[in-house]
Amino acid sequence: MQSIAVIILNWNGRNLLERFLPSVLAHSGDAVIYVADNASNDASVAFLEEEYPEIRVIRNPVNGGFASGYNMALGEVEEDIYCLLNSDVEVTPGWLDPVRELFASNPEAGIIQPKIKDLMRPDYFEYAGAAGGFLDLFGYPFCRGRIFQSLEKDQGQYNDTREIFWATGACMFIRKSVFRDLGGFDPDYFAHQEEVDLCWRAQNRGYRVYYCGGSEVYHMGGSTLNNMDPRKTYLNFRNSLFSITKNLPRKKAFPIILARLLLDGVAALRFVFQWKGLHAWSVLRAHASYYRQFPRMIRKREKVRFVQKYHAATSIVWSYYVHHVKDFNNLVKD
């Protein structure tokens, strides 16, 4: 039986560890629990050493964000399967069993995501991942159960197991061999959408990404950057362009990039009309950073088979704002 390591990345999150660690310890069976600390200064490590000596603490020398933080820590973890778990996630009894079984029965499965529900509204899916991620025609990410800010109620419509395009970093299972083969996360992302890039690169190498509806966790969300933080707007817009540039065939990437520059400009104007000037400025800053780093992203393009069918053949911007489609099953027909 393959061993599982649950690795929680922490930065000044002692209050979250106090609240959420008990469920992880209670329901994770024989999994080895790690906390990877990103150079916290809130006594998180002292708290762990005193209250939870059974937890293995990895001390990162600096705060490298999500991407570099996990890259540094996972070099010290030797279990077969990694579960990257946000510090604000409450797990449920038996949550690891369906995932372990899916890995065992499907050798091509490199990455798996469970069902992510909202801790504050338990009947609803949660923003970060919901029931599995996809990209639209222009590379915008969305989920089964979540399109932009609209969240669906869980009525059993996504209790299946199926292939998806990207798995959320809030709770992502990945084989150690796959993570190391890919070289981990791209540190240039720092945080946000690095999991989209990782899943895209995995599929370009022939691995598959799955959603496992039999496993369920509850995510509080917004504990690092909430959904309407200008910093998150900046990272999401910039990093999405990074992923398109790196992971699509050149003939397909450039028309999409040009379309995205226009659509992102419209998004910035919309922020202005909503009196959200800092978010509009974040979009402009994201584009400036993207232009500066464009040569580097081009150099990072891997000489591998590119995944062609990576999206829904529609624009979620058009569907959501023009046709008012707010749930996945009306947007995409499998």
283: Cβ contacts below 8 Å, ≥ 6 apart: 233, 234, 237, 264, 265, 267, 268, 271
Query: Could you count the other beta carbons within 10 Å of the beta carbon of residue 308?
Result: 9
Q: What distance separates the 2 farthest-apart alpha carbons in the chain?
A: 56
Q: Which domain holds residue 258?
A: 230-315
Per-residue model confidence (pLDDT) at position 225: 45
Residue 210's pLDDT is 98
pLDDT score recorded for residue 320: 82
Domain for residue 301, yes or no? yes
Query: What percent of the chain lies above the pLDDT cut of 90?
Result: 77
Is 196 among the domain residues? no
Q: What is the pLDDT of residue 334?
A: 45
For residue 287, is it within any domain? yes
pLDDT tens figures, 80-98: 999 999 999 999 999 999 9
pLDDT in tens, 167-196: 999 999 999 999 999 999 999 998 889 999
The reported pLDDT for the residue numbered 316 is 84
For residue 39, count other CB atoms closer than 10 A to its CB: 15
Q: Cβ of 243: how many Cβ atoms within 10 Å?
A: 24
Cα atoms in the 13 Å half-sphere on the side-chain side of 275: 0
Residue 294 lies in a domain: yes
Residues 6+ apart with CB under 8 A from 100: 1, 2, 4, 81
pLDDT of residue 304: 59
pLDDT for res 324 = 83
With beta carbons less than 8 A apart as the criterion, state whether 131 and 144 touch.
Answer: yes
pTM of the model: 0.92
In a domain, residue 199? The reply is: no
Predicted confidence at residue 305, as pLDDT, reads 65
Q: What's the domain count of the chain?
A: 1
Residue 6 lies in a domain: no
In a domain, 286, yes or no: yes
CA 327/CA 325 separation, integer angstroms: 6
3-state SS, residue 124: strand
326 within some domain = no
Low-confidence ranges of the chain (pLDDT < 50): 223-225, 334
Return the pLDDT at 224: 46
pLDDT for the residue numbered 306: 66
* pLDDT reported for residue 131: 97
Assign 155 to helix, strand or coil: coil
Name the amino acid, one letter, at 303.
Answer: K
CB 145 within 8 Å of CB 125:
yes
146 forms bridges with which residues in the sheet? 143, 151
